[in-house]
Amino acid sequence: MSYYNSIIEAIGNTPMVKLNSVNKGIDATILVKVEYFNPGNSMKDRMALKMVEDAEKSGILKPGGTIIEGTSGNTGMGLALAAIAKGYKCIFTVSDKQSQEKIDILRAVGAEVIVCPTNVPPEDPRSYYSIAKKLNKDIPNSFYPNQYDNTSNAQAHYETTGPEIWEQTEGKITHYAAGVGTGGSMCGVAKYLKEQNSNIVTVGIDTYGSVFKKYKETGVFDEKEVYPYLTEGIGEDILPANVDFSVIDTFIKVTDKDGAIMTRKLAREEGLFVGWSCGSAVVGALEYAKKHLTKDDTMVIILPDHGTRYLNKIYNDNWMKDHGFLEEREFATARDIIKSKNGKSKLLIVNDKQTVEEAINLMSKEGISQIPVQDNTGNIVGSLTDSSILRKMIENPEVKLLKVTELMDKPFTFVAMDNTVDSLSSLINKENPALLVRDFEDQVHIITQHDLLLAMAN
């Protein structure tokens, strides 16, 4: 008889599939490593099992213990499968941008799930990083794998995924591309492949709102690069220990919209029902391939997970329309809006030491209805709007004498230069009446609802 003793023995040895449609116009051979064939439907099964087994060997994880991890969903699923096979309990913290399907799946396999806010710094006690660490400290006999800094993550891919790719391509691979989140799959595989052939080029796929690309190119961790984005599983506002920049040759950034549209194309045109970051990886890899690859090259792209995680997001037409992702028409970008304003989008700010009255006078003089608040280090720390000020002055006229920091609202959201008008419009609402954009000269510009209306009209 042929069978596995438990589900975790089914991890690995996933198939390689050639792309035939979405890569039209590219002469090179483009292959994808389809990781949803793992039992947990993602490549994270590999590193989850490795982290658990290494913790067992070192004595950190003991019988009857509890596994506690901050996860975007897929790592949690891999850890849950390992926990079921080995008899552990699981508690997972996730950010509130993760799809409901991921949360439901984790609960279905017996895990306790705690949902935490996305738009807080990693060190904030409410972040899913901080809460996982606190639970690990408070709960006896618990293990915090910390997929970001636990080098068993990258080692799992060095030992399994890398050798599989080398064998499946018979050593003919010339380029390797993968999304970079924790860095495990990108760097573990890249290290192995470069040891076999140092000429192999590795391409990391990043997202707008993440720090990786700029850090690779400049060595500077720029907090101004960090702002909210929707794509799950790639990009970070921290530098995980598993991200070894020395084995990543270059980065390509991909917008939320482009990744979402490509994900649906992969399902429709290639029969690959994959997750959002898979589409992002393909968009970035093909962008690189169009410029650099020849017919003699073979590129392998990692497709991390399955589309069932995203049924209510990118595979839902209403969700796609609400975020401006479904329309095929061409829209102007934030870059186009800034260019059309001929310098008039340069930011007017109020200093955090000024009074509300001074801010009102400046807004009146310049004919604007909202203004960011900046501290003495140049960071945007808040915002003021005329409607908010008016509401508070009706309650108490004396608030005009207060410092702006005592009355200000949260800062306006930063967005990428290449975001299109349709997606920008989905980010403007009563709580966030304007958007901020940082150009390549480090100048900050403001985009208002009026700017978006003009762009649509033209």
Q: What positions carry a catalytic annotation?
A: 44
Taking Cα atoms as reference points, which of 35, 117, 39, 111 lies closest to residue 73?
A: 111
- Whole-angstrom Cα distance, residue 150 to residue 145? 7
CA distance 370 to 108: 46
**How far is the C-alpha of 364 from the C-alpha of 193, rounded, in Å?**
61
Residue 282 and residue 291: Cα distance in Å, rounded? 14
Tokens of 41: 């439907």
3-state DSSP assignment of residue 350: strand
Q: Is 389 exposed, middle or buried, given 0-12, 13-18 or 19+ CB atoms closer than 10 A?
A: buried
Q: Which of 376, 345, 377, 337 is nearest to 224 (CA)?
A: 377
Residue 72 CB neighbours (<10 A):
24
| Torsion 176-53-145-304 (CA) sign | positive
**Structure tokens that stand for 112 in this block:** 């306790």
- What is the Cα–Cα distance from 444 to 347, expressed in whole angstroms? 6
Question: What DSSP state is assigned to residue 333?
Answer: B
10 Å Cβ neighbour count for 91? Answer: 20
Whole-angstrom distance, CA of residue 208 vs CA of residue 115:
24
Distance of CA 27 to CAs 20, 24, 281, 296, 395, Å? 11, 8, 19, 8, 68
